[in-house]
């Protein structure tokens, strides 16, 4: 069947063309947000003529057939291996992004421990407060250390006070501003010392989940380290023109909430009903083209560029720092003009740049030249 092209008026086409030109320019220049720039649009274009809808459980067969569930399962299996999930005892799906993955992990935790208390640090992503409000979960904010990592002493003392209530630990595996990673092995040791038998750990590994497995030493954050669920963003370090993510969890937790839906002939195990059928294909293409070795090289290249930028900033007298294994560089906030020009995420007098794939050395050097020139002018 052929379709009639839907034509825009000249004014509308001009507006669209102007938007695309501006968006391309802004996409080339941003340095402060974790969205990989090396994107491949060809697969997306090929799929736009299909009503792809990954409704229901990706591991079940329903009556709707225009889906990419088979590719979604391969993406999930890849990350299950990367995150050392227990064989034949994990489950997951491709989400709309890290916030949905975090919501799902907290939802599983609430169903397991309805009276549990959620603990998260003050550097936790802003969406988590919203998620615990959605789920009507009791929660306590824990202090952060100077580098953004959770304050273990404050957590330990707070757990002592509420040791009769199952704790639900929301661990940051790469905080928003400083890419600090909470140590879930240390948190588990804390549980044993306090004789707390029932607890749940969710790892928010939005950016670092695809990086941490290749770091040496490898930070303790995945299933082998004791996580019950893990959320990763697909559009951050991996790269996707559409925001997306992956959530994985221990299957026993998911089985508690699964229910059969006759209308779709499938199981209801996800947060949303209809789900994006394009993003699993985009992630599948990415992991198939990279493989484990390519992903490791991707990490090494980003770390090398981060080291280059750090050395240049430090040599210029800029008070730059980063957490171990991070591709996020933190420094005093420059002028508002530079913040806006380079789209630098900034908070409480600090800004950061995140050296995700697709950022090249010329861009980094251009920004640093502008920052150094501005600093020199201010010091005159």
pLDDT (average), residues 133-156: 97
pLDDT (average), residues 248-267: 69
* Domain map (residue ranges) of the chain: 31-39+292-379, 46-287
Give the confidence band of 357 by pLDDT, cuts at 50, 70, 90.
Answer: very high
Closest CA to 265 of 53, 52, 65: 65
pLDDT (average), residues 185-191: 96
Same fold, 31-39+292-379 and 46-287: no
- In the chain, what percentage of residues exceed pLDDT 90? 84
Give the confidence band of 380 by pLDDT, cuts at 50, 70, 90.
Answer: low
Output the CATH code of domain 46-287: 3.40.640.10
Cα separation, 375 vs 370, whole angstroms? 9
Cα separation, 91 vs 105, whole angstroms? 12
H/E stretch holding 285: helix 278-315
H/E stretch holding 78: helix 69-82
Mean pLDDT of all residues belonging to the chain: 92
Options 3.40.50.1360, 3.40.50.150, 1.20.58.220, 3.90.1150.10; CATH for 31-39+292-379 is: 3.90.1150.10
Residue with tokens 């920004």: 367
Cα separation, 356 vs 358, whole angstroms? 6
CA atoms within 13 A on the CB side of 307: 8
Looking at the chain, which runs of residues are DSSP E strands? 90-95, 117-121, 138-142, 167-172, 200-204, 229-233, 245-250, 259-261, 266-268, 328-332, 345-347, 350-354
Residue 37: phi and psi, rounded to 5, are: -105, -10
Give the confidence band of 262 by pLDDT, cuts at 50, 70, 90.
Answer: very low
pTM score, two decimals? 0.93
Whole-number Cα distances in Å, 17 to 39, 57, 82, 117: 20, 39, 41, 50
Task: Please state which of the ranges 101-105, 183-187, 235-239, 262-266 shows the lowest mean pLDDT.
Answer: 262-266
Cis bond leading into 358, ω under 30°? no
Residue 5's pLDDT is 64
> What's the gap between Cα 191 and its chain centre?
26
Residue 349's pLDDT is 95
Residue bearing the bigger pLDDT, 262 or 71: 71
Whole-number Cα distances in Å, 44 to 41, 52, 78, 98, 240: 5, 11, 21, 21, 10
Task: Please state which of the ranges 270-274, 288-292, 348-352 shows the lowest mean pLDDT.
Answer: 270-274
For residue 379, pLDDT over 90 is answered with no
DSSP state of 96: S
Residue 2's pLDDT is 56
Looking at 178-223, which runs of residues are DSSP E strands? 200-204
For residue 148, pLDDT over 60 is answered with yes
Contact (Cβ atoms closer than 8 angstroms) between residue 243 and residue 41: no
pLDDT (average), residues 337-366: 95
Query: In angstroms, what is the C-alpha Rg of the chain?
Result: 22
Structure tokens at 163: 């040791």
- In the chain, what percentage of residues exceed pLDDT 70? 96
239 — alpha (psi -120 to 50), left (phi > 0) or beta? left
Q: Per-residue DSSP letters for 329-368?
A: EEEE---HHHHHHTT-EEETTEEEEE--TT--HHHHHHHH
pLDDT 10s digits, 68-87: 999 999 999 999 999 999 99
pLDDT (average), residues 211-236: 97
For residue 338, pLDDT over 90 is answered with yes
Looking at 217-258, which runs of residues are DSSP E strands? 229-233, 245-250
Beta pairing, strands 350-354 & 345-347:
antiparallel
């Amino acid at each position: 069947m052929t379709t009639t092209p839907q034509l825009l008026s000249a004014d509308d086409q001009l507006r669209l063309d102007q938007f695309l030109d501006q968006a391309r320019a802004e996409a080339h220049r941003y340095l402060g947000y974790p969205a990989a720039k090396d994107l491949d649009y060809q697969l997306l274009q090929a799929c736009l003529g299909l009503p792809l809808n990954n409704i229901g459980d990706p591991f079940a067969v329903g009556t709707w057939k225009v889906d990419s569930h088979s590719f979604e399962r391969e993406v999930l299996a890849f990350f299950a291996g990367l995150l050392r999930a227990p064989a034949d005892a994990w489950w997951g799906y491709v989400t709309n992004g890290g916030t949905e993955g975090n919501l799902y992990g907290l939802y599983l935790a609430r169903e397991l421990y309805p009276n549990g208390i959620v603990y998260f640090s003050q550097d936790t992503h802003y969406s988590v407060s919203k998620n615990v409000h959605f789920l009507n979960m009791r929660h306590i904010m824990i202090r952060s250390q100077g580098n953004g990592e959770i304050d273990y002493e404050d957590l330990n003392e707070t757990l002592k006070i509420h040791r009769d209530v199952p704790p639900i630990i929301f661990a940051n595996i790469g905080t928003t501003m400083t890419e600090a990673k909470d140590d879930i092995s240390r948190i588990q040791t804390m549980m044993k010392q306090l004789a707390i038998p029932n607890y749940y750990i969710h790892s928010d590994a939005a950016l670092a989940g695809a990086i941490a497995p290749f770091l040496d030493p490898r930070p303790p954050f995945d299933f082998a380290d004791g996580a019950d669920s893990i959320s990763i963003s697909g559009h951050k370090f991996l790269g996707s023109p559409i925001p997306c993510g992956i959530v994985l969890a221990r299957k026993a937790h998911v089985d508690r909430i699964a229910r059969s839906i006759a209308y779709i002939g499938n199981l209801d195990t996800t947060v949303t009903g209809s789900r994006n059928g394009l993003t699993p294909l985009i992630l599948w293409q990415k992991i198939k083209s990279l493989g484990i070795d390519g992903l490791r090289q991707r990490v090494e290249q980003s770390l090398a560029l981060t080291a280059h930028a750090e050395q240049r900033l430090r040599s210029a007298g800029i008070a730059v720092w980063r957490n171990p294994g991070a591709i996020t560089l933190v420094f005093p906030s420059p002028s508002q003009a530079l913040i806006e020009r380079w789209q630098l995420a900034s908070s409480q007098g600090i800004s950061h740049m995140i050296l995700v794939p697709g950022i090249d050395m010329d861009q980094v050097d251009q920004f640093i030249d502008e920052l150094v020139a501005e600093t020199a002018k201010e010091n005159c």
